[in-house]
Amino acid sequence: MTALVSYSTGTVSVAAGGTIVTGVGTIWSGTNARPGDVLQIGNFQSVISDVTDLTHLVVLPWGGGAQAGVAYKIWQVSPQRFAGSDSLATVNKLVAAFNTSGFFVFVDVALTAPDPSLGDDGQYAFQPTTGKTWAKVAGVWTYLGIYKGFNFRGVYDNAATYSYGDVQTTSGSSYVYINATPSAGHAAPNVTYWQLLASIGPTGGPGPTGAGYGGTSTTSLAIGTGSKAFTTQAGLAYTNGARVRASSAANTSNWMEGLATYSGTTLTINIDKTNGSGTLADWNFNVAGQPGDVTGPASSTSGNIATFSGTTGKVVQDGGVAISTDGTFAANSDARVPTEKAVKAYVDTAGGAWTVTNPTVTASSGAFTTVSCQLRYKLIGKTAVFTATVTMTNAGTASGNILFNLPFTPIVAHAGGGKEILSLGHQCNWQTSSSQMIIAKYDNTSVIASGRGVVITGTIEVV
């Protein structure tokens, strides 16, 4: 069975025993609420006797106590909803509307024509998928044509599928697709598929020759800065503020340039840049580029580095310093700057080859029976890079710290680390005292024992 229909949008308020119901957010139109419908709040109901407007109802005296801003339901059970006269009135309105404006019979996508059993004379049928339209005349559906808006597709694509009403452009002209069957590969102006919509016009004739630059002058003027007025041809393209160069026809190395003003047959140039000299009367004019802000020296030494003069960043000068590729730095000069390769060559060869020595090893207590040391080092300026390996074949009575003298003197005391490599692998510490190297185990206890070997490395600043 079908459930009862109700309406419950918004909230309502009503006084105890009251007959006026006020709604908030309600839309009590003639459809949602009618006299004879039943208002229910909670478990209490009252019959609606009138619908005043969208937010007010008149009910029989309310017996459910005062209510404010509560939910409600209107049970749509009014006899007016089912009375024949009311329904007939609605149907009459609908029929009158149909008789006045009619309605379309819509044709299914699978059909090629409307169902002959549908529609009355004067009525139309329409198929939205194709745009086809029919009119019923003397009981028969008569095809009127395809009625679709233009669909602009841009430049013609031979691989694309076009449908009725599609518009494309070919060689500047516009064509509209007029075939009822969509297709591809039929280029315009094939009249089976395309109708000319707008044709490209003929090419226009050449326009008048525009004003040009250039120009000449026989005004006798000396090369120099300042305002220079030249008599030249009228109708040139120069505008005030253009930068113009006047150069000698006989020797183009003689020129002067600047910002110009032009009026009639007079071209006046405010000269700010020149080359060459002399008084000349064979001038050719051309547009010139604006000089940059940065200026350079009148001359320089080839190979020298350019530097800025002053703090503006706009004046370049000969720095007086040449680039050097000498990796020995033999010149010892402030007038040379080494290249990256020169610096690398110097670093790679600084101090010559690695030096290997075998300093005498002693202990802070006792004496070794058999011990040796290989010290490899390289001096780079005032820096000594070294690796020392002490091998204790027979420690004898030696104990405490391992000692040996360095062939260079540290400028201050240095310290670093190392490792016992032949036995236990303990970490070791080293430090210098003047030119003496002192080696101990990581906890400052003795690392001396037969069969052990210690390797230390480091970098020391030397005197």
Tell me how far apart the alpha carbons of residues 330 and 328 are, in angstroms, rounded to a whole number. 5
Residue with tokens 């109901």: 45
Q: Are 40 and 78 in contact (CB under 8 A)?
A: no
CA distance 221 to 268: 12
pLDDT at 343: 79
Beta-sheet pairing, 255-263 with 20-24: unpaired
Give the per-residue pLDDT at 88.
64
**Which pLDDT belongs to residue 298?**
78
pLDDT at 319: 82
- Helix, strand, coil shares of the chain, percent, nearest 5, are 5, 45, 50
Nearest Cα to Cα of residue 215 among 236, 186, 199, 197: 236
pLDDT of residue 80: 84
Weakly modelled stretches of the chain, pLDDT under 50: none
pLDDT computed for residue 326 by the predictor: 80
The predicted pLDDT at position 341 comes to 86
Q: What is the number of H-type helices and E-type strands within the chain?
A: 2, 36
Beta carbons of 256 and 243 less than 8 angstroms apart: no
pTM above 0.75, yes or no: no
Side-chain half-sphere CA neighbours of 40 within 13 A: 11
Any idea what DSSP says for residue 79? G
Q: C-alpha distances in angstroms, 101 versus 21, 104, 124, 144, 185?
A: 41, 10, 11, 19, 43
Q: State the residue for tokens 């029919």.
A: 134
pLDDT tens column, 412-457: 999 999 999 999 899 999 999 999 999 999 999 999 999 999 999 9
- Residue 316, classified by CB atoms within 10 Å of its CB into exposed (0-12), middle (13-18) or buried (19+), is middle
**pLDDT value of position 292:** 83
> Among residues 463, 420, 411, which one has the least CA distance to residue 439?
420
- Coil, helix or strand at residue 343: helix
Q: Please give the Cα distance from 30 to 1 (Å, whole number).
A: 26
What's the pLDDT at 91? 66
Exposure of 113 in the CB half-sphere (CA atoms within 13 A)? 10
Token pair recorded at residue 281: 């009367």
Q: Which of 307, 303, 306, 308 is nearest to 325 (CA)?
A: 303
- Residue 92, pLDDT score: 64
pLDDT number for residue 97: 56
Whats the size of the chain, residue-wise?
Answer: 463
40's tokens = 């229910």
> DSSP letter at 119?
-
Model pLDDT, residue 209: 86
